[in-house]
Amino acid sequence: MKIKLIAGGAALVIGAGAYYLTRGDALEEAAKARTAQGAPIVEVTLPDTLSAKAEIGKHAFDAVCADCHGQNAAGKLGFGPPLVHKIYEPNHHGDMAFYMAAQNGVRAHHWKFGDMPAQDGLTKTDVAGIVTYVRELQRNNGIN
């Protein structure tokens, strides 16, 4: 009798867990469906001013990165992740990760946007400015 109760309880827990997990995915998909393709993924609060290096980086970001990572690195639904996000904080993705991503591309590993291709035509100086711009945006949004 106890074995049947334990087996029944285990089946109930497994079933409830599966429902919860699939329901979460369904809710996420429903939310995405209600949001326009290309919409920003996160809200970014802009600093009052940017350093001169970040201003130059913003121009490079807007020219090369914004098509996928969105205006002000807020991400772009259906295209690319936000860089103003805890995942990209300096302790998790250091500055060198940005250089390597631009030079070599990146396999998708945190998000479901697919792989990022290498970005031809960016110099190390361009990427340095982009990193400065992104880091200033992050700091202004509490990501250090």
- Residue 133 DSSP SS3: helix
Q: Cα Rg for the chain, rounded, in angstroms?
A: 20
Per-residue pLDDT of the chain (144 residues), as tens digits, is 555 545 444 444 444 444 444 444 554 554 555 568 999 999 999 999 999 999 999 999 999 999 999 999 999 999 999 999 999 999 999 999 999 999 999 999 999 999 999 999 999 999 999 999 999 999 999 999
Same domain, residue pair 58 and 106: yes
Domain annotation covers residue 77: yes
Backbone φ and ψ for 73, nearest 5 degrees, come out as 60, 30
Residue range(s) defining the domain that contains residue 86: 52-140
Same domain, residue pair 15 and 59: no
Same domain, residue pair 79 and 108: yes
Same domain, residue pair 25 and 68: no
Domain annotation covers residue 42: no
When divided into structural domains, the chain yields a total of: 2
Q: In angstroms, what CA-CA distances link 14 with 17, 24, 25, 34, 57?
A: 5, 15, 17, 30, 50
CA distance 76 to 65: 11
pTM (2 d.p.): 0.76
